[in-house]
Structures are given as C-alpha cells and as structure tokens.
C-alpha cells in the first residue's frame, strides 16, 4: 500500500492507481487545472508555455516586458538548434523597475522596441507581457500596433501574464501569435507539401523528421517552430497537411489552421519504432500519395528491422528493469510507454504536467494493472511511487534529474536538456544507449 497520508486530499483526484485507489468511480483523472496552492508543483506558468513554443523561431526577437527574472530564466533554455540565424538565443527585456511599475511601462516598451530596431535589422518581434504588465494595465496591443506602423515590421503581442492560466494555455497564446503572423498570407495558393507542427528541433530532431520526408518524396513547406524562420512561417498557409508531433502544444494551432485555412491535420509521434513507422505511413496515406506510402512501408520496414536488431543486443541489459515517466505532454508519455515496451522495460509510474483526459485514457489502456498514473505530480509523490513500484530509471526534465539521482534511480532527460536526438530511428538508438548508460552505470555499485 501507498503511504496515503503524504498525498494531499485535493491531489487524489489527479492520481490513478489502477490496482488500489483513487479511482474506480469512472470519473476519470482530474487534470488541466492550476496546481493546488502549497503544492511543490513541477509546473511552470502561462508565460513559460508561450515562451517555449515561440522561442525556436530562429530569426525572431523576443522582448520580455516585465522585471528581469522572466527574461533571465528563459534565456536560451531550450536546446533548439538552428540552421539559420541564432537571433533567438539572445535575451531582450525591458527590465522593469519600480518607477515603471508605478507610472506604467508602455513608454519603456516603446523605447525598447525603438532601440532594438535601431540596432538590428529585425523583421519579427514578439513582445511578451508578464504578470505585472497584466496588473498595471499596459496596453501592449496598442504599443505593438504603433511599432508596426512606425517601423514597418511585425511586432506581435503575447499577453502571457503568468497567473492567467496554465502552461498549456500559454501554448495556445503562442499558437494565436503564429496565426496573427500568418494572417495576411491566409489566401496564398496551396502547394504540395506538409507543415511539421510541434517539434522544436531539440538536438536536431526536426532535421531527422525532415530527412524522412525527403526520403518519402514529401516536401516540407514549413516547420513550427523548430528551426523555423519568419519567412518559412509565412509559407505555412500553403501546405496541404499539418502533422502534429507535440500534441500538447500544437493541436490547438492545427485545429485553428484546419478551421481557418482548410488544412487538415494528423497527430504523429516519432518516438519509438512503432509510432515512427505508423506516423510515416499515415502521413503518406493522408496525402493520398501512393508512391510515398510504398516508400514509407519499405523505408520503415528496413529501419524497424535494423532497430529491432539493435534493440535485441540491449534487451538482456534491461531485463527486469522498470521505468517511471514524468514528462510535459500526454502524447509523449504514450510514445515513451510503447518505446519502453519495445525495449523490454515495464513502465510502472507515468505522469505528465499537462496531459489531457483523452491522453490519460490511452495511457490507462497501455500500462499494466499496477501502474500508477499521475497528473501534475510533486517530488514527494514521485518519490513515493517510484520507490514503491521499484522504478530503475526516470525519464523527465531538469527538476526531476537530481531527485532521481538522490533516490539512486537512473535518469534520462527527455526535455529541454536532452543530450541526443531522441526522435525517429536514430532516436531509438540514442535513447536506448542513454538509458543503458544511466541504468548500467558503474556508479550504482557504490550506491547500494
């Protein structure tokens, strides 16, 4: 039995232990809500959600309008790679001070945009309103509008006061900003090809996916937002199909594009052999491109066989090992469970920060009876369930790494700090090697 006393009453609705508790009344998991006050939440805020989605646009200037912290903490935080400009890796902020808070920050924002434009040849600026900007009532819409007229460039407001929603709602703001950017290009003629949504080119993953598209003979019109540029984003409305990799952040954008631009979308995942194979074939099918389907089948069969041969050598090293997953979105968690299955590792704890109800339903069907499922878990819950279920490795993000190590549990970063590309067939090899290196590190000999 779980040490139930250490779980907040309000939190019980956000935890499913199929074997023993919290559910059974058919009500489903409670998710997508703000964290409970007093929780040691692993989650960030609305601003963070918007910021991480827009950050990878390589030639965009991101001005954080607020006190310096929000700019400092999000300066170059994603390992998004670029094949073009690296403007996005520079941090811009209005660094609001007390007098700005008292007298309003609009003038300072206006001056900051002017100073930026005077210095750089900016085509696209995103202006993020942070918590206090929402409270002191700066009209950043008006400032951005005036700046667009004055400088003849795009200046798009992202009103992302942290308190006004969850990280997922921040993703939506980012999607709205992208739609605002492409608005004047809505009616450009369609061309053959797809947009890749919800991949951020961490460790160059977008390039792997693009290389697959090339093999299948499917042109890529634009990527959103990994390795995207202002120019490539403007081509976005001309695509025939959107494929959505990170569903949590980009389904909303895909839905808007379907409704407003008539571009259908499919959700895909390139984590693990099963999902990569299915995704490639489904993309070709969705385009009605028989040649591409044949190529996809041939390519994935070959690659999946090679991956299987690779995995076979590793499976003995993973025998009896158990995994815990704690990631941002539900779709990634689903892929990871499958991928661990392919590796011969059982998933015993699975949680997400922003998973949706339908994600949790799929997760429930994928895992064994005694697996624990959590929404917005905190460190003590993760500790408790990982130890109880005997997890050997945790897959998570930056805040979970030291936690895992303190518990003597191996770790693999599947978030901003991933060290190698984890997508596609290359990703299977990288992920497997990384999990093996961590699980079978000699350091564990000294811990036990």
Partner 1 sequence: MLDLTPKKITERTALRINPCKTCQPVGAMYAALGVHKCMPHSHGSQGCASFHRMYLSRHFKEPAVASTSSFTEGASVFGGGSNVKTAVKNVFDIYDPDIIAIHTTCLSETIGDDLNSYIMDMDIPEGKLVVHTNTPSYVGSHINGFFNMMCGFINYLTKKSGTPNGKTAIFPGFVNPGDMRELKRLATLMNVPFTMFPDTSGVMDAPMTGRFEMYPDGGTTVPEIAGLGDCGEILALGSITSIEPAELMKKKFKVPYTLLPLPIGVEATDRYIMELSRISKAEVPRELEEQRGQLIDILLDSNQYTHRKTVAIYGDPDTVVGLTALCLEMGMLPKYVITGTPKEEFTREVRALLERYGETDAVVKANTDLFELHQLIKNEPVDLLLGGSYGKAIAKAENIPLVRAGFPVLDRYVHSYLPLVGYTGMIRMVEHITNTLMDRQDADCADEDLEVVM
Query: Closer to partner 1 at the Cβ: 93 or 229?
Result: 93
Binder to partner 1 among 312, 358, 402, 419 (CB under 8 A)?
402
Binder to partner 1 among 94, 249, 279, 430 (CB under 8 A)?
94
Binder to partner 1 among 2, 31, 109, 421 (CB under 8 A)?
109
Phi and psi (nearest 5°) for 147? Answer: -65, -40
Q: In the complex, what is the shortest distance from the CB of residue 446 to partner 1, in angstroms, rounded to a whole number?
A: 9
Q: Which listed range, 5-13, 151-159, 191-199, 342-350, lies at the site for partner 1 (CB under 8 A)?
A: 5-13
From residue 260, alpha-carbon distances to 170, 185, 187, 256 in Å are: 21, 12, 10, 6
The interaxial angle of helices 247-261 and 167-182, nearest 10 deg, is 30
Query: Closer to partner 1 at the Cβ: 182 or 374?
Result: 374
Binder to partner 1 among 26, 119, 149, 442 (CB under 8 A)?
119
What's the distance, CA 35 to chain centroid? 19
Cα separation, 412 vs 394, in Å, equals 6
Binder to partner 1 among 4, 406, 419, 433 (CB under 8 A)?
406
The interaxial angle of helices 330-343 and 273-286, nearest 10 deg, is 120
Alpha helices in 315-391 (DSSP H): 330-343, 357-366, 379-389
Q: In the complex, what is the shortest distance from the CB of residue 204 to partner 1, in angstroms, rounded to a whole number?
A: 15
- Provide CB contacts within 8 A for 390, sequence distance 6+: 322, 348
Q: In the complex, what is the shortest distance from the CB of residue 94 to partner 1, in angstroms, rounded to a whole number?
A: 6
Give the pair of three-digit tokens for residue 263.
């571009």
For 370, the 3-state DSSP assignment is coil
Cα separation, 399 vs 78, in Å, equals 14
Binder to partner 1 among 257, 403, 423, 435 (CB under 8 A)?
403
Q: In the complex, what is the shortest distance from the CB of residue 117 to partner 1, in angstroms, rounded to a whole number?
A: 10
- CB–CB of 74/55 below 8 Å? yes
Q: In the complex, what is the shortest distance from the CB of residue 46 to partner 1, in angstroms, rounded to a whole number?
A: 7
The vertex-56 CA angle with 268 and 273, nearest 5°, equals 25
Binding residue count for partner 1, defined by CB under 8 A: 81
Q: In the complex, what is the shortest distance from the CB of residue 56 to partner 1, in angstroms, rounded to a whole number?
A: 16
Binder to partner 1 among 408, 419, 437, 441 (CB under 8 A)?
408
Chain residues 28-67 in contact with partner 1, contact rule CB under 8 A? 34-48, 63, 66-67
Binder to partner 1 among 100, 303, 342, 413 (CB under 8 A)?
100
Cα separation, 289 vs 295, in Å, equals 10
Q: In the complex, what is the shortest distance from the CB of residue 164 to partner 1, in angstroms, rounded to a whole number?
A: 5
Binder to partner 1 among 131, 173, 203, 337 (CB under 8 A)?
131
Query: Closer to partner 1 at the Cβ: 167 or 356?
Result: 167
Q: Which listed range, 173-181, 214-222, 244-252, 397-405, lies at the site for partner 1 (CB under 8 A)?
A: 397-405
How would DSSP label each residue in 13-37? GGEEETTTBS--SS-----SSPPPT
Q: What is the largest CA-CA distance in the chain?
A: 66
* Signed CA dihedral, 20, 25, 29, 35: sign only: negative
Chain residues 63-92 in contact with partner 1, contact rule CB under 8 A? 63, 66-75, 85-87, 89-92
Query: Closer to partner 1 at the Cβ: 309 or 446?
Result: 446
Q: Does 142 bind partner 1 (CB under 8 A)?
A: no
Query: Closer to partner 1 at the Cβ: 161 or 432?
Result: 161
């Amino acid at each position: 039995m779980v040490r139930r006393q250490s779980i907040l009453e309000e939190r019980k609705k956000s935890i499913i232990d199929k074997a023993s508790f919290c559910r059974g009344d058919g009500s489903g998991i409670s998710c997508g809500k703000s964290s409970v006050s007093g929780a040691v939440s692993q989650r960030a805020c609305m601003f963070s959600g918007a910021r991480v989605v827009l950050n990878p646009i390589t030639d965009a200037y991101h001005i954080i309008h607020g006190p310096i912290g929000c700019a400092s903490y999000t300066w170059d935080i994603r390992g998004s790679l670029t094949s073009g400009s690296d403007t996005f890796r520079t941090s811009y902020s209005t660094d609001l001070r007390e007098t700005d808070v008292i007298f309003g920050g609009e003038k300072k924002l206006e001056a900051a945009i002017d100073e930026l434009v005077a210095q750089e040849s900016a085509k696209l600026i995103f202006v993020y309103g942070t918590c206090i900007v929402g409270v002191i009532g700066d009209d950043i819409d008006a400032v951005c509008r005036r700046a667009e007229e004055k400088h003849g460039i795009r200046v798009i407001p992202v009103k992302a006061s942290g308190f006004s929603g969850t990280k997922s709602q921040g993703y939506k703001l980012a999607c709205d900003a992208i739609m605002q950017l492409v608005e004047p290009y809505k009616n450009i003629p369609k061309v053959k090809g797809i947009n890749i949504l919800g991949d951020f080119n961490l460790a160059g993953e977008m390039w792997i996916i693009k290389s697959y598209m090339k093999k299948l003979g499917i042109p890529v019109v634009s990527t959103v937002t990994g390795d995207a540029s202002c120019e490539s984003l403007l081509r976005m409305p001309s695509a025939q199909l959107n494929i959505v990799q990170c569903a949590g952040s980009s389904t909303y954008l895909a839905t808007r594009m379907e409704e407003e631009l008539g571009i259908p979308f499919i959700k895909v995942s390139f984590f693990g052999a099963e999902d990569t194979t299915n995704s490639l074939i489904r993309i070709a099918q969705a385009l009605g491109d028989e040649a591409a389907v044949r190529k996809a089948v041939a390519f994935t069969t070959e690659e999946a066989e090679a991956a299987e041969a690779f995995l076979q050598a590793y499976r003995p090293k993973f025998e009896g090992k158990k995994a815990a997953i704690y990631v941002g979105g539900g779709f990634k968690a689903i892929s990871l469970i499958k991928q661990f299955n392919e590796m011969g590792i059982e998933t015993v704890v699975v949680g997400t920060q922003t998973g949706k109800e339908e994600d949790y339903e799929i997760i429930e069907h994928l895992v064994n009876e005694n697996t624990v499922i959590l929404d917005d878990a905190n460190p003590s819950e993760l500790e408790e369930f990982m130890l109880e279920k005997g997890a050997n490795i945790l897959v998570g993000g930056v805040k979970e790494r030291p936690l895992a190590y303190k518990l003597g549990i191996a770790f693999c970063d599947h978030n901003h700090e991933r060290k190698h590309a984890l997508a596609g067939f290359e990703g299977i090899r990288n992920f497997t090697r990384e999990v093996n290196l961590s699980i079978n590190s000699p350091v564990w000999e000294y811990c036990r």
